[in-house]
Each structure stands twice: as C-alpha cells, then as structure tokens.
Structure 1
Amino acid sequence: MQPPVLAGVDGTPASLLAAGWAAGEARRLRAPLVLLHGYEALAGTPRLLLGDPGLEHRAAMRLLTDAQAWVRQHYDDIDVVTELAVRPEADLLTEWSRDAQMIVLGSRRPGPVSGFFLGLIGLRVLSRAECPVVLIRSDSAARPQEQEVVAGVPEEEDQAQTLLAFAFQAAATRGVALRAVRAWKLPALFTYEPGLAQHAAENNELEQAHRRELAAVLQPWRKRHPEVEVIEHVEVGPAAEVLVALAASAQLLVVGRSSKPGRRYVGHVAHATLHFADAPIALVPTR
C-alpha cells in the first residue's frame, strides 16, 4: 500500500479546505488519506467548569467525523480514516510524518502584506516534519487552475534531488508541465571589479553556466518522467522574489526547506514564499 497523505483537521474552514486538497492528492497518488487531530486535555479549574470530563473528546471526535463525512461525500473513491489523540497536534503530525508522503495544512491569509497565518502548530510542523508539508491558503479555492508546477531548484545537488523527486511526481500526477527554476545573482567580487561583470554580461557566461548546471541536474529526472514537459527557467535575481512572481500562475510551488536536526528556521527563501507567494506551497525537507 502507498504511504498515506495526511491532513491536519481542527474544525476550521481552512482545515476543511486542506482536507479536500489532500483528498484530491490521495486520489491522484492512489494513496489512503488520514485525517489527524490532536488536543491537550484541559486540567484543573477549566475542566471542573465544563462539568463533563468527556466533552473535549466528544467535540474532537465530532469534528473529525464531520470532516471524514465531507471527504467521503466529495471523494467517494478514496480510503479515508481518522486518527484522534490526546496529545499536542504538532507532535502527532510530526510523528506520522515519518511514514507519510506529505502533510497538508490549511491556513488563512488576513491581508496582502501579512501573508500566511500559520499559528504555532503550523510553524512547529514545518520545522520538524520528515515529509513535505503543503500549505493551502483559505482563499486558494478561488484561484484558476493553472497549467504548471513551479519548483525552485537548489544549487546543492543532494538538496535538488529530494526536491525534484517530489516536484516531478506532482507534475506527472497532474498531467502538467514542470517549470524548474534556478535564480542566480552576481558574485560579490563583481561589485569591486566592474570590468569582470561587464565581460561576463557581454559573453553571457554566468547565465550559460547556470543553464548547464540546471540542465545537468534535470537530465536523470527527465528520463524517469518522459511524460512531463520540463521548462528550464534561469533568471537573475533573489530566489524568493523570482519564485513569488512565478507562483502567481502555478498550481503548486515547490520549495526546499532546511531540515537540519535541531534547527527551527525553515530558511529565508521558504520563509519569504510562505508570506508572499500566491499559490499552494509544498515545503520539501532538505539537508
């Protein structure tokens, strides 16, 4: 059996949207869908005020059951199960990430400047999950279905392999093109030696070098996925700015994130795209 697709469910419209997106992904991958919810039991006076020690559990079970019923109504051809645990939800999702294809989380976007509103749970999952985490904005349902997946390809080859495995699969299962992006900038040395920059620009040497590197890292993946049209996109500029601009016309934006043990920061490119990219974002853990 295929590893499952996971969706975190908390009873909000954003999490229901994430469950629906995850269901569509499970259908494409022919994988089971697991709806997860974790909660921490109230203690002390708040529990006494509630008067019913089972109220929390029943409410949590109800929101999961409602989400499962909604998914089954709209995606009756996939296997969907639920998992409820009395433990922090971020810990539950992180534990399940070890054997999952991806985690899908919903979030809201209160304004054009503030970007994704993830909350503490989302940030903890992003920095600790061992599988890709997909973030779905609460207003993404209104976006048109564009015809490509966009992937920011790191310069480090080992990091690029992990990201490209996910990106090519995403493009293949959707039947759309993959735009593989390499953003680059002039070395700092050129700031102090303008003649070098002029010479490189005149001969197009730097851009051609990046094109060769990108083509080389893509070659084995083209062979594995001959059905995927690949667009090689090399552009000078900060990676985050280039990816945010391209995300406006993408079904999915795939970005690498730091997964070094003990590190809680996902990386500046991932952080920027989370705040400003206008598309669902898959953050793929890389070393």
Structure 2
Amino acid sequence: MHNLIYLTDLDDAALDPYVRLNEAQLSHALKPGLFIAESPKVIERALRAGYRPASLMVEEKFLERDLADLDHEMAVNKTAGLGHTPIYVANSDLVRQLPGYNLLRGALAAMYRISRPRLTDFLTTLPTSHPRIAILESVVNPANIGAIFRSAAALGIDGVVVTSDSADPLYRRSSRVAMGTVFQVPWTYIDAKSWQNDGITLLHQLGYQTAAMALRHNTVSIDDPRLNRVDKLAIILGAEGPGLRESTIVQSDFTIKIPMAPGVDSLNVAAASALAFWELGNR
C-alpha cells in the first residue's frame, strides 16, 4: 500500500524541496543533501541505484497513471526501496504553484544524495582492461550534461568525471534529459581548482592517456587507429563556446577532432560526445 497524503495547501515545511528550495539549496538540505527526480522512469532508476527517497509528490489527476507507471518500472526491474515513503497528492491548483510546473513530466521525488568517491578511489572501481572514461570540464549546461550521460550509458563509457564548476548531473533537468542514466553510469566530481594539476597528473600516473577534444595543428581524427590501441583512455570535453582550457590541451596525450564538412569547425558538446563515444567507447 502506498502512503498517500492529500494536500490542501503547500505550507508544510516537508514540502520545501518542491516549493521553496532551489536546486543549489537542495544540495545542502537535510545532509547529505537532496535532489529532485522527475517522472516514474527516472525515479525508478534512482531507486534501483540505491538512492533513498525522502518523499514523492504526484498531481491528483495523474495519481493512478503515475503510480501504475512507477509500480510497473519497479516490478520489471525488481526494484525495492519505496516502502512507506510519504507520497503527497496535490490538486491541479496547488501544482500550478510549483516552480516549472508547466514542464512537469509526471511524479516528483525528493531523494537523498550519496557521497562521491575521490578520483583515486573512483578509478579503482572501473574495469581494469581497456577502460574508457569521459571528463567533463566546466560543462555548465544541465541539458548538455544529461545528454552526455545518456550517450555514455548507451555507447560504452565506463565512468564519467565532472569538474566541480560544471552543472550538477543530479539537477532535475540533467537527470530528466539523461532519462535517469545519471544513476546508471558511475561518476564522481573533481575539484575544478585541482583538476588542472592533480587530476590530469593522477590520470597519467594510473596509466591513462588523455584525449582532449580540440582543434590544434596536431589534432587527429577520432577514428585514428592509435586511439583504439590505447589501453586506458580518458576523453576530455569542454564547455560550449570557450572549449577546453589551454593547459588541459597542452597536458593531453592526444587532441582529437570529428571530421566535418568545410565551413563547420565544431558541434554542440553533447552531439560531439555521442560521436566520440561511438568511435572510442567499449561497445
């Protein structure tokens, strides 16, 4: 049985994650922090990955549909973890008071964050043979983060490292665009200030070669056979516009590019990641 709580207003402090806290505030609320997962599919993937729910919120007119979808996803994947979690049921008038209500794609869940391992510890959890990882340097658009994770899950990337000045993969828009694959692909953060020195150095010390996606005089195509012969490869992607920092490029073992028609020199970082992962991932 679901623990349904029908709302008449949004005043209860327990509803703050849905009503009064922005995403940055959520990340520091109720240690170890919260995030919002949206839609039954995304919520189920978070539960399957071991994230604990604090509560759910469902619009009353979609209650039967959303709970049926969530129950179906959980049954198909043999997922547990919902238990007696409070499920707040709001009528349409209350839902219209929620931030971004017009973009809602079903049920919402406030879920507890988990701690992220240090880069050294994270790398030891990845496959020892032919690992492929992606490094996201200062990628600030949540939609791009989500799309990159979705491609990483589909195209054989074993893990993702996100610099701390990038958009949060657990932001609602990120996980929604990713279709919940941010809970499927292993990932961690690295401090943006230490990434330039400590992070790249550590990757090299652990046997990784780095491939920066950038245009330089010595850039090679992503289908260069040398890249697939590399045992441990880290593919580094940068922000829209400025791209990768010069110091990142200089320290990389390769700079790589996607062959394109004349007159076009770049793709959106999410599109570029999909092509690079297709060519270089462990499919």
The TM-score, its normalising length taken from structure 2, stands at 0.33
Q: In proportion to residue count, which structure has more helix?
A: 1
